[in-house]
A = this chain, B = another copy of it.
Amino acid sequence: MNANAKDLDLYLEELKSIVKKRGLKYSLQREQILKVLFNAQKHLTPEEIYNEVKKENSTIGLATVYRTLSFLEREEMVSSISFGSEGKKYELNRGEHHDHMICIKCGKIIEFFDEELERLQEEIAKKNSFKLITHQMNMYGVCKECQE
């Protein structure tokens, strides 16, 4: 059992406990969708998730993917991001908050976390009597590779 497999188990446990807490049911589909999100090294569209799950479970429906993503987002296990004219993309919440640098050439999304940025926002919110819940900082530009 490697570290990754262990981590996945933790997510599956979390899913089980949420499902139980809400009096809902655990299903293979929910597990498969979560697994795909876990294994992805990037943000995925519902369509991409659907195609990925389909490799293991040819009968899954796209509607199930949409329903599951809404459910997982409501339960804060995944987050979505959308930019430009592209649709929503989803990622698994891996604990700590982060922001995004988005390459306008290749579409790659680079995640980052900056302590000072977090502090600064709190300050700006306070200054405006705004009760901050979450934020999304998206920086658009050209990634290192695409500059060459």
Are A135 and B137 within 8 A (Cβ)?
yes
CB contacts (< 8 Å) of A117 on chain B: these are 117, 120-121, 124
CB contacts (< 8 Å) of A125 on chain B: these are 101, 139, 141
Are B120 and A101 within 8 A (Cβ)?
no
Min Cβ gap A120→B in Å is 6
Q: Is A2 an interface residue (CB 8 A)?
A: no
Q: Is A128 an interface residue (CB 8 A)?
A: yes
The one of B124, B131, B135, B137 that contacts A147, using a Cβ cutoff of 8 Å = B131
Min Cβ gap A126→B in Å is 11
Contacts A101-B125, A112-B124 known; A142 to B133 CB distance under 8 Å? yes
CB contacts (< 8 Å) of A8 on chain B: these are none
CB contacts (< 8 Å) of A147 on chain B: these are 129, 131
Q: Is A134 an interface residue (CB 8 A)?
A: yes
CB contacts (< 8 Å) of A17 on chain B: these are none
Min Cβ gap A125→B in Å is 6
Tell me the bound Cα distance from A140 to B136 in angstroms.
8
Are A114 and B110 within 8 A (Cβ)?
no
CB contacts (< 8 Å) of A134 on chain B: these are 139-141
A-B pairs, 10 with minimum CB distance: A129-B144, A131-B142, A132-B141, A135-B139, A133-B141, A137-B137, A131-B141, A136-B138, A134-B140, A101-B130
